[in-house]
């Protein structure tokens, strides 16, 4: 069963901080379950995978900047999409920069491997349809930031 939660509010009311809090909470719950050796439901052998999308690069980069302020998330995130369009502050977290740092080519297979290793991916709604993004393991949580600025059809792309 799928659940949908909508959060709406004017600028500056903490929606991006709420996204950061949600991601931290999901990661905390997973790590707590893992540390206590509790049984997880079937299909949850891997970390909870989170996809964060937005219609704009600026919004995605803003969320990513907030996420990487938390040291526990720095090794978990990857920015999908054209690395040239990204904010220079978050460039080290782009898929191309991470692959380069690992000494691997930026081809489809290496991109899929990296997305499967890093459980939190961020991209624009349109970039969520890239072949390598679709080929990675499915995501457990989808967050669409600034959904009211997107067309209804574009919000369906990540599904």
Q: Where are the domains of the chain?
A: 15-156
Cα dihedral value 52, 92, 90, 57, nearest 10: -50
The confidence score (pLDDT) of residue 34 equals: 65
Q: In 3-state terms, what secondary structure has residue 3?
A: coil
The confidence score (pLDDT) of residue 39 equals: 52
- Helix H, strand E, coil C: the string for 57-105 is HHHHHHHHHHHCCCHHHHCCEEECCCHHHCCHHHHHHEHHHHHHHCCCC
Per-residue pLDDT tens digits for 4-48: 787 888 889 999 999 999 999 988 887 776 666 555 555 555 678
Per-residue pLDDT tens digits for 47-84: 788 999 999 999 999 999 999 999 888 889 999 987 67
Q: Which CATH superfamily is domain 15-156 in?
A: P-loop containing nucleotide triphosphate hydrolases (3.40.50.300)
The confidence score (pLDDT) of residue 80 equals: 92
Tokens representing residue 59 in the block: 């919004």
pTM of this prediction?
A: 0.86
Residue 55 zone, left/alpha/beta (φ > 0; ψ -120 to 50; rest): alpha
Distance CA 131, CA 134 (A): 5
């Amino acid at each position: 069963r799928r659940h949908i939660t909508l959060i709406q509010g004017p600028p500056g009311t903490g929606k991006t901080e709420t996204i950061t809090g949600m991601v931290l909470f999901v990661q905390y719950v997973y790590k707590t379950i893992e540390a206590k050796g509790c049984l997880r439901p079937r299909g949850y052998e891997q970390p909870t995978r989170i996809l964060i999308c937005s219609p704009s690069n600026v919004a995605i980069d803003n969320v990513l900047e907030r996420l990487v302020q938390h040291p526990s998330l720095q090794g978990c995130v990857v920015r999908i999409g054209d690395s040239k369009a990204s904010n220079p502050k978050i460039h080290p977290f782009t898929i191309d920069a991470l692959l380069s740092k690992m000494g691997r080519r930026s081809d489809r297979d290496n991109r899929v491997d990296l997305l499967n290793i890093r459980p939190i991916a961020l991209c624009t709604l349109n970039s969520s349809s890239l072949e390598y993004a679709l080929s990675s393991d499915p995501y457990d949580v989808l967050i669409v930031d600034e959904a009211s600025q997107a067309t209804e059809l574009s919000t369906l792309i990540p599904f």
